Amino acid sequence: MAKTSKWIRFFIKNAEHTSNPGVREHYGRFASLVGVATNLILFGIKLAAGLIFNSLAITADAINNLSDSSSSLVTLAGFKMSGKPADEKHPYGHERIEYIAGLIVSFLILSLGFELLQSAIDKIMHPEPAQFSWLSILVLLVSIVVKLWQMRFYRAIGRTIDSVTLLATAADSRNDVLATSAVLLSLLISRFSGLELDGFMGAAVALFIMVSGVKLVMETVSPLLGAGPDRDLVDRIHERIHSYPGVLGLHDLAIHNYGPTKCYATVHCEISADMDPMRSHDLIDNIERDFLSDLGINLVIHMDPVRLNDPETQTLRIMAEGVLARIAPGLSLHDFRVVHGISHSNLIFDVTAPYSLEESDDDLIFEIKSAIATINSQWRCVIQVDRGYVHS
């Protein structure tokens, strides 16, 4: 938020420290209060214009602004409650309340859209001519300008503090611009063609509001259900861990959060089995500590020892990787080891499969075993299939 940051410091102390829960709360509070004020002003102006000129479409648009103001109040309460520190009953903090606040806002929008649709249908059945006025046109134009500013304002702060709720509010402001533009168009068509579209346009605005509400519900529910982590974050974690000398590879990365600043992750790191245990433990300890201090990620690492000086194991691993590449793209293996017996040798490894692979785990295991057995019948496979916690 480069442009906003130049003046946001006048309103928010330590504005650059966006990972601080207290600073995030101040950002959310400031954005919510601005939203309440601007939407109440638009509501008052539009309601007066709608009642004076008997326009349901303008009145519907005014009530939409009132709902936006109510949504901002819910957002304000959500940021306030999410800023509460961790306690005995909630050791991971309360930041997910922000997502719940976004969900409440979404349901309010849906409810409002339904009420407006009923009013619009009634006016379609019992039409009354709307009075045209250039003043009402001016009111709608001012509303469009204010909503465009709101969209940029919410989006800038939402991106700065990584807030799903504020980004959803920015999308809602964008939708309001389209809805108000539609109302403006209907008034102009009525003025110059004589067609009475007020009720129909009011219905269109109501349906638009309901569709927006459904989309917002889906967006705010996703983090509550445990959405996959951002691809950029995954790439940064991989790159950072691989930068430590001694780390040969990593797998089984799982990332989850309890709010925008409460990130937790687990991962398996491959370390040479010949490394001194005290050195490998120190390496893992340093990585975990660096991630917490530098990235704010609570990282827990499981160490997997890998034998680098066993040519046979490396040859068999390459063979197994070739089999996976022929079966399906996106398959990978880890924790590969060989246990020799008298009559056969067990190849033990885990296979990571993407969710896009429709084949069941049992069918995939059978196919891999069959392919390796055709190469050498004395190789028996013990396979565990993992479905990654990271989306592609």
Beta strands at 247-257 and 263-272: parallel, antiparallel or unpaired: antiparallel
Assign residue 126 a region: left if phi > 0, alpha if psi is -120 to 50, beta otherwise? beta
What domains are defined for the chain? 2-225 (1.20.1510.10), 231-387 (3.30.70.1350)
pTM: 0.60
pLDDT at position 2 is 38
Beta carbons of 251 and 127 less than 8 angstroms apart: no
- pLDDT per position as a tens digit, 168-218: 778 778 877 877 787 788 778 777 776 777 678 778 877 877 887 788 788
C-alpha–C-alpha distance, residues 264 and 255, integer Å: 6
The H or E element that residue 382 is part of is strand 379-387
Q: What six digits make up the tokens of 334?
A: 């880890």
Rg (CA), the chain: 29
pLDDT at site 372? 94
Instruction: Find where tokens 């993407």 sit.
Output: 354
Yes or no: say if 388 and 334 are a contact pair by the CB < 8 Å rule: no
Pairing of strands 297-306, 263-272: parallel
User: Could you give the CA distance from residue 326 to residue 391 in angstroms, rounded to a whole number?
Assistant: 22
Average pLDDT over residues 367-386: 91
Q: What average pLDDT does the chain have?
A: 81
What whole-number distance in Å separates Cα of residue 191 and Cα of residue 193? 6
Amino acid identity of residue 184, one-letter, is L
* pLDDT at position 340: 81
Number of residues in the chain: 392
pLDDT tier at 3, thresholds 50, 70, 90: very low
Tell me which of 366 and 344 has the higher pLDDT. 366
